[in-house]
Amino acid sequence: MSTVMAIAMAGIMFSAQRSFPRAVRGLREWVIGLFCLILASALFALNGLLPDLILLPIANSVFLWGAGMQMAGTQKFYGEVPGWRLFHATWLLGLVVMLIWLAWRPDFAMRVAMFSFLMMALLLNQTVVIVRHGERHLTTRLFAILSLLPTLALLHRGVMALQADGVGLSLGHGGPNQGTYLAILSFMTLLLPVGFMTVATRHLYMVLEQRSNRDPLTSVLNRRGFDEVHAKENARARRSGTPIAVMSIDLDFFKAINDLHGHAVGDQVLIEVAGVISGVLRGSDAVARFGGEEFVVLLSDTRQARAELVAQRIQHALREPRPGPGLPTCTLSIGIACQRAQGEQLDSLLLRSDQALYRAKQLGRDRVEVAGDAVAPYTLAPAISLYG
């Protein structure tokens, strides 16, 4: 039943890997690992039909390959370089174990002990990676427990094998711990993939949620993401009594850049401008692309003086030379709107900042204009500027 369920999990993981090849790393290694474990199970089922000297080294090596590929997949998922040295050392040592204690000096207890320790090394490394790099979430804890449980079982089995001289270790013998070993180790092929899929599903959900809030070209927020950030910041500003400012930014003569240099270069210009804007802002600020060459910036805890300073810094940063392939020069027109009253809605702020932007365009471009009526009729907490 465990093998049948492992086949089903392999199919699920393979489908997920084909659908999201870049979003979830490590799925390919996990699929390969599951197929290795399934193949090893099929080989072990041939016991008695093939000579042990041929069957056991191959089956155990394939089994170690399966566990090693799962370890590598977990490492890739968490952004680590797969431990291929440990992987190859483990299955090669497995062959040495078989040559010594099966062909040369037959000793069943030593084979069980050594293979338990080799499997334990792979699972222990995987557990350490999960604990070290996993986020603080229930899915990560579940995955870590499912990885740690067979690790402890293998440790106990290896120690008992050395002490019991093989008594009660084979499938044909009983023993006080035999049922526990079979329950844990047999279902390991099912439980571990389930644990990995829980963390992979959560990661995929976060990736898809981020994609729904981000502009695919520049990676800054889109309108949906900007609305969510503004809603949170507006609620915080109401509680603390701090002001909010919005900037509407538009590239000057961007159509000419597309016409002269092509849309591919125009896209690179947009990416560069988005990076320049983001580099000037604080972590509490937000920038979004509303479409075309228009960007909108939300400045938290900001009055008019600081908003103008930020706008000037953006324009200055865009004029500075940058390394890499040269892109056509461009300038920005910026319109600023500061809250007129506590809780002023986003649509009102955007309308006034767009009007200021239009005025900047009409007055010659490459300039900053501020919407009128920016002085709030209520007392604001002192603004703290990170720009001096």
134: left (phi over 0), alpha (psi -120 to 50) or beta: beta
| pLDDT attached to residue 179 | 63
Each residue of 117-147: pLDDT tens digit?
A: 999 999 999 999 999 999 889 999 999 999 9
pTM, two decimal places: 0.71
Q: How many domains in the chain?
A: 2
Let me know whether 306 and 162 are in one domain.
no
Q: Which of 362, 340, 364, 337 is nearest to 351 (CA)?
A: 337
Let me know whether 244 and 186 are in one domain.
no
Let me know whether 280 and 164 are in one domain.
no
Under 8 Å between Cβ of 265 and 257: yes
| pLDDT attached to residue 180 | 67
Number of neighbouring beta carbons within 10 Å of residue 359: 15
Q: What residue numbers bound the domain in which 296 lies?
A: 223-370
Let me know whether 288 and 231 are in one domain.
yes
| pLDDT attached to residue 205 | 86
Each residue of 297-324: pLDDT tens digit?
A: 999 999 999 999 999 999 999 988 765 5
Q: Which residues of the chain have pLDDT under 50?
A: 166-175, 374-388
Cα 67 to Cα 78: distance, rounded to the nearest angstrom:
17
The tokens for 321 are 């030379």
Let me know whether 182 and 68 are in one domain.
yes
| pLDDT attached to residue 378 | 33
Let me know whether 315 and 204 are in one domain.
no
Let me know whether 36 and 102 are in one domain.
yes
Instruction: Decide if 382 is inside a domain.
Output: no
Instruction: Decide if 385 is inside a domain.
Output: no
Let me know whether 164 and 247 are in one domain.
no
Cα 281 to Cα 300: distance, rounded to the nearest angstrom:
10
| pLDDT attached to residue 182 | 66
CA contacts within 13 A on the Cβ side of 236: 11
Under 8 Å between Cβ of 252 and 308: no
The tokens for 248 are 């509407």
The tokens for 167 are 């008594």
Let me know whether 39 and 145 are in one domain.
yes
The amino acid sitting at 179 is G
The amino acid sitting at 74 is T
Q: Which of 178, 128, 173 is nearest to 151 (CA)?
A: 128
| pLDDT attached to residue 322 | 67
